[in-house]
Structure 1
Amino acid sequence: MKKIEAVIKPDRLPVVLDKISKIEHGSISYYDTWYRRISGDFTENLNQERNAHGFFYKTKVEMTVDDEQVDLAIHALCEGGYNGGGCDGRIFVMPVEQSLRIKSPESSDFHL
Structure 2
Amino acid sequence: MKLIIAYIQPHKLEEVKQELAKAEVAKMSVTNSLGCGAQQGYHESYRGVEFDVNLLKKVRLEIAVSQPYVEKTIDAIIKGAKTGEIGDGKIFILPLEDCIRVRTGERGREAIG
Please give the range of the TM-score, normalised by the shorter of the 2 chains. 0.7 to 0.9
Q: Structure 1: which 5+ residue stretches go unaligned?
A: none
The structure with the largest strand share of the pair is 2
* Structure 2 partner of 1:87: 87
Aligned sequence identity (%): 26
8 Å Cα contact 1:29-1:62 kept in structure 2:
yes
Query: Which letter maps to 2:31?
Result: Y
In 2, Cα distance between equivalents of 1:71 and 1:63: 12
Cα RMSD, aligned residues only: 2.4
State the partner residue of 2:75. Answer: 75
Between Structure 1 and Structure 2, whose CA radius of gyration is higher? 2
- AA matched with 1:75: D
Residue 21 (structure 2) pairs with residue 15 (structure 1): no
User: Does the CA-based 8 Å contact 2:42-2:53 persist in structure 1?
Assistant: no
- Letter aligned with residue 66 of structure 2: D
**More displaced 10-residue stretch of structure 1: 67-76 or 13-22:** 67-76
Query: Matches of 2:52 and 2:109 in 1, distance apart?
Result: 42
Structure 2 residue runs of 5 or longer lacking an equivalent are: 44-50
After superposition, the Cα gap between the structure-2 partners of 1:106 and 1:72, relative to the gap in structure 1 and judged at 3 Å, is closer
How far residue 107 of structure 1 moved from its aligned partner, in angstroms, is: 2.1
